[in-house]
Structure 1
């Protein structure tokens, strides 16, 4: 074979080798993508969403298998109905274990049965307003801000030990009226603010999603008066619960990307 033909032959072989290598790499990448997507999808299928809290979360839910009423008629219902209707193929399950009148201690007492045994993948907690009220009325140390934080950490440690990959959603409690002027704050607002700071700190410490419900209502006051959103300083109206649902979905969708359709 003449030298010039030999050089062309070798050059063509080299080009074929490079092309083959690139093709093989692309195949590996392409083969890997569905696997990763499938893994991602599997993590976003069959998820158990569990909501814990007090009467605001409870929403007058039933305590039986009545699928029409066991999520209550508050923000949990709004979240579950909306997400469930939009993603039926994901086989998502929504459990409401809010308990009217509960404080952090009551929630801790029922933690094993109501939370751990349900094995949630996404756990949303809003607790604190009753702790504030109980402390202001009885001054029990078990309802102090320090005890609140210690018990909160204990239940979070338990659920993280049970499921290290759990998605935690920590929602701050809230109250109206709300003022930024310390001299005008009610005793309830002052105590609630201390517990809001605790929840913010816990969200950082436990790599949890933080949901700023107080900010939502503060901004809502620019559009309508207090009683339109929260009728008794504590419990939201129907419109108020919708604000909670919207903010919850907005915050949680940053972690669970498929929920962005809802925002």
Structure 2
């Protein structure tokens, strides 16, 4: 059984500091940065894991705004689809997406970055 300790889990304060450092260190060397929220394929916002991912997602949202990065709310994209689909159809463990789940992520990235669907 895995123990959840520092070697197996990134606590929220470390997550925020690490992500911010990555942004600050990387931004001068690239044209732009796209930040995506973590997600958990569960509509129930009171679910413990979903609530945790939402907290981490709030950090991503704030850091994207503060650092003028493109922000992709993956949880929101999945929430729309989950209104009609059972979570296991997109990720058997609600974490690792199927091909369809990856398509939802890709479509949201393309949408947020202004991809022109009429050009294809």
> Could you state the TM-score of these two structures normalised by the residue count of structure 2?
0.85
Q: Tell me the residue number matched to 1:250.
A: 111
Q: How does 1:189-204 map to 2 (within 5 A)?
A: 189-204=50-65
Residues 262 and 156 of structure 1: CA distance in aligned 2, closer, same or farther (over 3 Å): farther
State whether structure 2 residue 88 is matched by structure 1 residue 224.
no
Give the secondary structure class of the aligned counterpart of 1:192.
helix
Higher helix share: 1
Residue aligning to 1:170: 35
2:116 counterpart of 1:260: yes
**Residue correspondences, number:** 117
Deviation beyond 4 Å, 4+ runs, structure 1: none
Q: TM-score, normalised by structure 1?
A: 0.41
- Which has more radius of gyration? 1
Where do 5+ consecutive residues of structure 2 fail to align?
none
Contact 2:41 2:87 in 1 (8 A): yes
Contact 1:174 1:192 in 2 (8 A): yes
Q: Which residue of 2 aligns with 1:69?
A: none
RMSD: 2.3
Question: How has the CA–CA distance of structure 1 residues 191 and 205 changed in structure 2, closer, same or farther, with 3 Å as cutoff?
Answer: same
Higher relative contact order (CA 8 A, sep 6+): 2
The SS at the match of 1:170 is strand
1:137 counterpart residue number: 4
Residue pair 1:249, 1:262 contacting (<8 A) in 2 also? no
Distance 1:198 1:206 in 2: 12
